[in-house]
Chains A and B, each alone.
Chain A
Amino acid sequence: MTTDQSALPSPAPGNFAGRRARRRAMAVGGFLITLFLTFLGLLAITFFIGRVIPIDPVLAVVGDRATQAQYDAAKIAMGLDRPLYEQFFTYVVNVFSGDLGRSVSTGRAVADDLSRFFPATFEMATLGILIGVALGVPLGVTAAARQGSWLDQAIRVVGLLGYSVPAFWLGLVGLALFYARLRWVGGPGRLDIFYDGLVSPVTGMILIDSLLAGEIDIFWNAVWHIILPASVLGFFSLAYIARMTRSFMLDQLSQEFVTTARVKGVPEQVVIWRHAFNPIRVPLITVIGLSYAGLLEGSVMIETVFSWPGIGNYLTTALLNADMNAVLGSTLVIGAVFIVINKVSDVLYRVLDPRAR
């Protein structure tokens, strides 16, 4: 009799399963609640930025030369005469019903604009993360397997460069080198000008739309154009993924079961890829999720450089025109995607890793 636990009666099997189901239901509920609260927090921040910080939001809409009557009418129309918490409530209800206001510069509803621009960003970021994972994971594993070699040092430097190179600068240098000098890739934009508008948008992702329409030429032209911006994004996720993979692998390779396997004469490749790599797949999912979310952020900087018609470009144009509805709408959408990816990779980690269950 050493612990209190052994003194407790052992639970009946059925009871145990019931408790597990209840615990899982509570975990799911807790997850949904944190997701909702985080999203509410995001809304509070955008609300704060949009309504509280500007000296006078009414003046921003009606302009300096409005009469007092126009001013008052606009103030009531915008609902700014009501108390702040009521305004916030209206804002939340509007956002959840898909109303993000109207963009001053495009004259359309922000929600419509965003759904038109989002696929281009999604396409680029997804290709970017694929490049990052395809190169980053093997590089990180190799670096850990040959710790201290020149390759390991090189990968370490690449990892740090991922934290210190401005994405927009890398895009510009890439354009100057691979497009202007070497002609290896297409220039800014998603397609050459004479292909523009030939494929009717179905998904909004040109690589998929062109294949659906059976236009192979356009597909290759789109690949030609997307490859550089996606590679620039891929570089940043590669840097981060390789760095994390290396550190996870080093942890595993120093474990005793790895030494045991080696002593028993298991081939080194098997030790690395089966014994050491298998356990790190779960934490890697979290890393890849975080990196994917980071690429959404990175694409904001990249898209202006490549004249890429995505959310980033929309956001930067809106920023320069002080088009606050568009700015806050883009912030909300990118923020929401960011939150969801973050939380989902967190949950995946807990579901897949038996120790965290």
Chain B
Amino acid sequence: MTTRDWLLADSPTSRWQANAGRAYRVFTALLRNPLSVLGGVIILVLLLTALFAPWIAPFSPTGQSLADRLLPPSGEHWMGTDELGRDIFSRVVWGSQITLTIVLLVALISAPLGLLIGAISGYFGGWVDKILMGFTDIFLSLPKLILALAFVAALGPGINNAIIAIAITSWPAYARIARAETLTIRNAEYISAVQLAGAGPIRVIVQHILPLCTSSMIIRVTLDMAGVILTAAGLGFIGLGAQPPLPEWGAMISRGRTFILDQWWVATMPGFAIIIVSLGFCFLGDGLRDVLDPKSEGKS
């Protein structure tokens, strides 16, 4: 019996085998869609770049060399140099670590928070549901970016506060999804069985409801990552996100503004990095949605 047969077995003998088989099926379905493969490759490259930044970047991201100020892209400086003579390509490479950190932390804070609020709201119903969802709806009907800006203004500029602000403004969408999913499974027979066996609400929610919300959550989080990257870059651009000399892509574009008319590469190059990575998340998210949730194809 090959590994493939084991993965595709019709009657898996363990939970581990069932999960692995499901992951394998999703993976092969994704491979059939060229755009999601492209998205996956982009994100893989982002991960590797962030991991191996010290070895990939040919120059130091903060090392200044005023003799080499504002050089156009060349064989030595692939993306040119900025106003302090720093190699832009090296800064973009190091910047991938910042982008990845922001994306991961925002996902790790906002998705579980949204999941929990949505699941509690859907499971208990009644007044709990009304209050929590009223709160969620208010957040949902407000402009995310503006709200994040106001939060950062109050908390003070900096990358940590930017992450907190973005997370605070992105959980409501997840709460909505988790609630909708919970409502459809709340009255399922296996949930009643678990309840009859004496499980309390915490156990039912954490062990039996949350796992079923994960697939729609993964889709939504992946699709939202592009927005998170753009918001973080926007905060950096305005000067409220990552502070200099950190090579954050949005902040780099902001520095390049002054030179946009003559030394276009200073502001343009980090922008390409933002676009490629955001597109990567969009492609992968689209692909995941087509595989995991075929009903909603084409809708956003």
- Give A residues with C-beta under 8 Å from B: 37-38, 41-42, 45-46, 49-50, 53-54, 160-161, 163-169, 172-173, 175-176, 180, 243-244, 246-247, 250, 293-294, 296-297, 300-301, 304-305, 315-316, 318-320, 322, 324, 327-328, 330-331, 334-335, 338-339, 342-343
Bound together, the chains give a CA A245 to CA B224 distance in angstroms of 21
Within 8 A of A (CB), among B16-64: none
Bound together, the chains give a CA A331 to CA B143 distance in angstroms of 9
Within 8 A of A (CB), among B249-298: 250, 253, 256-257, 260-261, 264, 267-268, 271, 274-275, 278-279, 281-283, 286, 298
- Asked whether, in the complex, the Cβ of B143 is within 8 Å of the Cβ of A324, the reply is no
- Asked if B246 lies at the interface with its beta carbon under 8 angstroms from chain A, I say no
Chain A residues whose C-beta falls within 8 Å of the C-beta of B227 in the assembled complex: 163
Interface size on B, as a range, is: 35 or more
- Asked whether, in the complex, the Cβ of A297 is within 8 Å of the Cβ of B137, the reply is no
Bound together, the chains give a CA A232 to CA B271 distance in angstroms of 15
Among residues of B, the one whose C-beta sits closest to the C-beta of A293 is B143
- Asked whether, in the complex, the Cβ of A42 is within 8 Å of the Cβ of B238, the reply is no
Among residues of B, the one whose C-beta sits closest to the C-beta of A49 is B154
Which of B115-123, B213-221, B229-237 is near enough to bind chain A? B229-237
- Asked if B185 lies at the interface with its beta carbon under 8 angstroms from chain A, I say no
- Asked if B135 lies at the interface with its beta carbon under 8 angstroms from chain A, I say yes
- Asked if B9 lies at the interface with its beta carbon under 8 angstroms from chain A, I say no
- Asked whether, in the complex, the Cβ of A324 is within 8 Å of the Cβ of B299, the reply is no
- Asked if B155 lies at the interface with its beta carbon under 8 angstroms from chain A, I say yes
- Asked whether, in the complex, the Cβ of A164 is within 8 Å of the Cβ of B155, the reply is no
- Give B residues with C-beta under 8 Å from A: 134-135, 137-139, 141-147, 149-155, 226-227, 229-230, 233-234, 237-240, 250, 253, 256-257, 260-261, 264, 267-268, 271, 274-275, 278-279, 281-283, 286, 298-300
- Asked whether, in the complex, the Cβ of A297 is within 8 Å of the Cβ of B146, the reply is yes
- Asked whether, in the complex, the Cβ of A304 is within 8 Å of the Cβ of B143, the reply is no
- Asked whether, in the complex, the Cβ of A172 is within 8 Å of the Cβ of B260, the reply is yes
- Asked whether, in the complex, the Cβ of A160 is within 8 Å of the Cβ of B283, the reply is yes
Given A319-B153, A331-B147, A166 and B142 touching (CB < 8 A)?
A: no
Most buried by A among B134, B146, B274: B146
Bound together, the chains give a CA A140 to CA B93 distance in angstroms of 37
Q: How far is the CB of A153 from chain B (nearest CB, A)?
A: 10
Chain B residues whose C-beta falls within 8 Å of the C-beta of A316 in the assembled complex: 238
Q: How far is the CB of A310 from chain B (nearest CB, A)?
A: 13
Given A244-B300, A300-B149, A328-B150, A163 and B237 touching (CB < 8 A)?
A: no
Chain A residues whose C-beta falls within 8 Å of the C-beta of B154 in the assembled complex: 49-50, 53-54, 324
- Asked whether, in the complex, the Cβ of B145 is within 8 Å of the Cβ of A172, the reply is no
Chain A residues whose C-beta falls within 8 Å of the C-beta of B278 in the assembled complex: 163-165
- Asked whether, in the complex, the Cβ of A164 is within 8 Å of the Cβ of B143, the reply is no
Q: How far is the CB of B164 from chain A (nearest CB, A)?
A: 11
Task: List 12 A–B pairs whose Cβ atoms lie within 8 Å, in order of A's numbering.
Answer: A45-B142, A49-B151, A164-B281, A164-B282, A165-B271, A168-B253, A243-B300, A244-B300, A297-B143, A297-B144, A316-B238, A327-B150
Given A41-B135, A342-B141, A164 and B233 touching (CB < 8 A)?
A: no
- Given contacts A163-B278, A247-B298, list 20 more A-B pairs with CB under 8 A: A41-B142, A42-B142, A45-B147, A49-B154, A54-B154, A163-B282, A164-B275, A169-B253, A172-B256, A180-B260, A301-B234, A301-B238, A315-B146, A319-B152, A320-B238, A330-B146, A331-B146, A331-B147, A338-B142, A343-B141
Chain A residues whose C-beta falls within 8 Å of the C-beta of B271 in the assembled complex: 165-166, 169, 172-173
Bound together, the chains give a CA A266 to CA B151 distance in angstroms of 56
Chain B residues whose C-beta falls within 8 Å of the C-beta of A296 in the assembled complex: 143
Bound together, the chains give a CA A173 to CA B175 distance in angstroms of 37
- Asked whether, in the complex, the Cβ of B146 is within 8 Å of the Cβ of A166, the reply is no
- Asked whether, in the complex, the Cβ of A322 is within 8 Å of the Cβ of B153, the reply is yes
Chain A residues whose C-beta falls within 8 Å of the C-beta of B146 in the assembled complex: 297, 300, 315, 330-331, 334-335, 338
Chain A residues whose C-beta falls within 8 Å of the C-beta of B279 in the assembled complex: 160-161, 164
Q: How far is the CB of A181 from chain B (nearest CB, A)?
A: 9
